[in-house]
Amino acid sequence: MLVKTFGAAVTGIDAITITIEVNVTRGIRFFLVGLPDNAVKESQQRIESVFKETGHKWPGKRIVVNMAPADTRKEGSAYDLPIAVGVLAADEQITSSRISDFMMMGELSLDGSIHPIKGALPIALQAKADGFKGFIVPKANAREAAVVKGLNVYGVESFREVVDFLTGRKEIEPVEVDTDAEFLKEQARSEFDFADVKGQDSVKRALEIAAAGGHNVIMIGPPGSGKSMLAKRLPTILPPLTLDEALETTKIHSVAGKLNGHISLLTRRPFRSPHHSVSDVALVGGGSYPQPGEISLAHNGVLFLDELPEFKRSVLEVMRQPLEDRTISISRARFTIDYPASFMMVASMNPCPCGYYNHPEKACVCSPGVVQKYLSRISGPLLDRIDIHIEVVPVPFDKLAAQKPAETSNTVRERVIKARAVQSERFKK
């Protein structure tokens, strides 16, 4: 008998529906066709074991599994679930009229439990666009997928549960996430505030301008002058994410598998601060199956590069093009993937190797040549793309000890929101 089940393949931050056709006829051997990679091919061993555990039988017949469209590469182990269901139904061990109503994805463990998958959100969006009645996902991904309105998302923990659900022996309640409430609840909270930073009014002013216009910033100053502290507080003065922005950023994190089970939607602007030993692939994304890098994870948020001159030169140079284009294209021989990368770059550095060049009190021990050399580690083209350069001077003692309250993030944020409103009004015309 021929049975069709449905899964999805994720390319970039979008998914395409994959039809999994299973045909069980007389004969022997198992065939899996349609450009599967090794992890997909290995599913046979996992499924056989699961069948044994759940009391089903691996059919001793000729099994042909075709994954269509056949020219798209299928990767990863998340096709275990639709293939297993397809084999059972094609062998007529279960009968269900509902199989084609659902999209399902999940990696099977040998004992029949189901492991989380990557990219649940883009797949759920695709399932809704294609008009599926529901989406069966591993429980750990259920809240992430349930953000999509108008789609029933069923979180499952074991293969037995899926079979019982499809054959109608057991009902599962769809997971509900109130997207709007979730969004509002999380947004206001933040443990950081601009008021924590004493003095540094000129730097705060510059950061306010940067936040209002989305400009890139570099801060130069001696150690301990508050550069990192200020940078960490930058997201608190940026305008809150809109729902569309939040969905897009969440999609990227979903594809990268970086969402924890209890988070359904990223509600705050991401703040990524990769260590300076980061490789260029980790920063911009890549690999043979390209994954988003730090710059895409920082989409709609802030990418903070602490100690900029310590980064490898090649790493900094690969960022030049995405800084202009706000998106990164990763090309491989067979395909090209675009990841959005609209981020604000905030960098910090010391003025010289010892850190005290231009310091009001301490003496710098570096020779002039060394200072020049340190600065020249950052290439002209990169510096050209940074709009705002700020010198951060250490705060003198009397200001540190003063109890004068500084402006809070919310006051600054209101001004930023107002300025951004002026800007969007202008572009509407």
Partner 1 sequence: MSTRLLTKYATPDESGQAILKNAMEKLDLSARAYDRILKVSRTIADLEECENIEAHHVAEAVQYRSLDRSGWAG
Q: Rule CB under 8 A: choose which of 215, 258, 312, 320 binds partner 1.
A: 215
Q: Is 325 in the site for partner 1 (CB under 8 A)?
A: no
Our CB check for partner 1 shows the closer of 174 and 213 to be 213
State the nearest-atom distance from the C-beta of 208 to partner 1, in Å.
7
Q: Which stretch binds partner 1 (CB under 8 A): 11-19, 111-119, 159-167, 411-419?
A: 411-419
State the nearest-atom distance from the C-beta of 64 to partner 1, in Å.
54
Count of chain residues binding partner 1 (CB under 8 A)? 32
Type of residue numbered 325: D
Q: Is 320 in the site for partner 1 (CB under 8 A)?
A: no
The C-alpha angle with vertex 210 and arms to 13 and 193, in degrees rounded to 5, equals: 90
Closest CA to 255 of 429, 13, 49: 13
State the nearest-atom distance from the C-beta of 317 to partner 1, in Å.
16
Q: Rule CB under 8 A: choose which of 53, 196, 387, 407 binds partner 1.
A: 387
State the nearest-atom distance from the C-beta of 140 to partner 1, in Å.
42
Our CB check for partner 1 shows the closer of 263 and 417 to be 417
Phi (first) and psi of residue 114, to 5 degrees: -120, 125
Q: Which stretch binds partner 1 (CB under 8 A): 10-18, 61-69, 337-345, 385-393?
A: 385-393
What is the Cα–Cα distance from 408 to 193, expressed in whole angstroms? 6
What token pair was written down for 51?
């069948």
What is the Cα–Cα distance from 220 to 352, expressed in whole angstroms? 10
**Scanning residues 194 to 213, which ones bind partner 1 (CB under 8 A)?**
206, 208-209, 212-213
Q: Is 220 in the site for partner 1 (CB under 8 A)?
A: yes
Closest CA to 57 of 20, 92, 83: 92
Our CB check for partner 1 shows the closer of 262 and 426 to be 426
Closest CA to 74 of 9, 30, 122: 9
Buried b (16+ CB within 10 A) or exposed e, 77-105: bbbbbbbbbbbbbbbeebebeebeebbbb
Q: Rule CB under 8 A: choose which of 89, 390, 392, 393 binds partner 1.
A: 390
Q: Is 422 in the site for partner 1 (CB under 8 A)?
A: yes
Q: Which stretch binds partner 1 (CB under 8 A): 3-11, 242-250, 252-260, 419-427?
A: 419-427
Residues in a beta bridge with 114: 108
Our CB check for partner 1 shows the closer of 96 and 410 to be 410
What is the Cα–Cα distance from 56 to 16, expressed in whole angstroms? 31
Our CB check for partner 1 shows the closer of 211 and 297 to be 211
State the nearest-atom distance from the C-beta of 268 to partner 1, in Å.
23
Site string for partner 1, 149-188 (x = CB under 8 A): ----------------------------------------
Q: Is 391 in the site for partner 1 (CB under 8 A)?
A: yes
What is the Cα–Cα distance from 201 to 209, expressed in whole angstroms? 12
What is the Cα–Cα distance from 245 to 252, expressed in whole angstroms? 11
State the nearest-atom distance from the C-beta of 311 to partner 1, in Å.
16
Q: Is 417 in the site for partner 1 (CB under 8 A)?
A: no
152-156/134-138 β-pairing = parallel
DSSP state of 219: E
Q: Rule CB under 8 A: choose which of 57, 98, 185, 385 binds partner 1.
A: 385
Contacts of 105 (CB under 8 A, 6+ apart): 7, 8, 78, 79, 81, 82, 117, 120, 123, 136, 137, 138
Q: Is 218 in the site for partner 1 (CB under 8 A)?
A: yes
Site string for partner 1, 332-351 (x = CB under 8 A): -------------------x
Our CB check for partner 1 shows the closer of 10 and 412 to be 412
**Scanning residues 364 to 383, which ones bind partner 1 (CB under 8 A)?**
368, 371-372, 375, 383
SS3 state at 138? strand
For the chain, how are helix, strand and coil distributed in percent, rounded to 5?
40, 20, 40
Residue 262 buriedness (CB in 10 A; 0-12 / 13-18 / 19+)? exposed
State the nearest-atom distance from the C-beta of 320 to partner 1, in Å.
11
What is the Cα–Cα distance from 231 to 160, expressed in whole angstroms? 49
Binding residues for partner 1 (CB under 8 A): 206, 208-209, 212-213, 215, 218, 220, 351-352, 357, 368, 371-372, 375, 383-391, 415-416, 418-419, 422-423, 426-427
